[in-house]
Structure 1
Amino acid sequence: MDIARDLFAFVGRLGIGIIFVAHGLQKLTTMGISGVAQGFETAGIPLPVISAWYNVLVELIGGVLLIIGLALPLVGVLLAINMAGALVFVHLAGGLFLPTGFEYVLALGVAALAIGFNGGRWAVDKLIFGRRAPAGV
């Protein structure tokens, strides 16, 4: 059972990580930071240039870190914050359903949190930090 749990945690990290890397690369290579910032400004996102850098770097680097399983809790929270921003500033007005709704960013944000706090044993975090002692010990 542990092998299946670790396998599916890895598959989850891989899948969600690939999506984040792809979105970060897409923004960086097709739009550039200035294009992302311009889109963010149009959407009313505060500090559009800083937000654009945060968005691209967190998606790109965070996606890679999800895949390899490094700094998972931090990465999960940062990606969830990123998706919360997308939900509030861009997709909320579109309702729940795609193409303009927030279901996709909600699913990605929640998945990043879940994986960030349960990335399985096949993660670099487990190699570095090993098994943590139970609370109160």
Structure 2
Amino acid sequence: MNLPHRRLSGENAHHLASDIGLLLLRLAVGAVFIAHGWGDASQAGGAGANVANYRDAGIPLPELSAWFGAYMQLIGGIVVLFGALTRLIGGGFAVVMAGALIFVHRGEPLVMGQDGSGSGFAFIMLAASLALLGTGGGRFSVDRVFAGGQTRSGRSARIGATR
């Protein structure tokens, strides 16, 4: 009788730790983007109030970019908390953060200065966005549910599952 064992083998423990790490990354990234998107979307005039700032920074299509940035962060943040459309949203976040680095924080040091300038925040959020784009949401995500519970290696996502 070949019963599946429930203890974590080295490989299963590694995958579990990676998936917990992706869950924590998604929760942190989602929360930060929600906060920033909410600030832009809920201000007087909504995201449209940022059009002049986007234009002054040289951001292309400021009338569209201001709205895209605000709602990509707000709605994308909510969606990524659940691990839905994680790669797509990670790509959208990466576009927003690359734009911030190129147009807003170009030439600024990584460390925040006394005047609030600094590119470190945008840099780390770009890196986190690219990580989600590259890895997806992990085992504990809506994406995984719709993928049929398959792990990156194509095996069942259950811990200790037999091959």
Contact 2:48 2:67 in 1 (8 A): no
Distance 1:34 1:75 in 2: 22
Instruction: Please say which structure displays the higher CA radius of gyration.
Output: 2
Q: Does 1:12 align with 2:25?
A: yes
Corresponding residue number in structure 2 for 1:72: 86
What's the counterpart of residue 145 of structure 2?
A: 127
- Cα distance between partner residues in 2 of 1:40 and 1:3: 42
Residue deviations 1:96-133 (CA, integer Å, cap 9, x gap): 22231211111001101212332210000000013278
The letter for the 2-side match of 1:87 is L
More off after superposition, 14-23 vs 37-46: 37-46
Q: Structure 2 vs 1, CA of residues 133 and 46 (structure 1 numbering), >3 Å: closer, same or farther?
A: closer
Tell me which amino acid in the other structure corresponds to 1:120: G
Structure-2 separation of matches of 1:122 and 1:76: 16
Q: Which amino acid aligns with 2:99?
A: G
More helix by share: 1
Q: Which residue of 2 aligns with 1:24?
A: 37
Q: Is the 8 A contact 1:83 1:108 kept in 2?
A: yes
Structure 2: which 5+ runs fail to align? 1-12, 155-163
- Which residue in 1 is equivalent to 2:4? none
Aligned partners of 2:111 and 2:119 also within 8 Å: yes
Q: Count matched residues.
A: 135
CA contact (8 A) 2:26 2:83 kept: yes
1:1-137 aligned at under 5 Å gives the runs 1=13, 2-31=15-44, 32-98=46-112, 99-118=116-135, 119-130=137-148, 131=150
Shift of 1:78: 1.0
**Residues 45, 12 of structure 1: CA spacing in aligned structure 2 closer, same or farther, 3 A cutoff?**
same
RMSD: 1.9
| Residue number in structure 1 paired with 2:9 | none
d(CA) in 2 for partners of 1:71, 1:92: 30
Instruction: Confirm or deny: 8 A CA contact 1:33 1:49 kept in the other structure.
Output: no
TM-score by length of 1: 0.89
TM-score (norm 2): 0.76
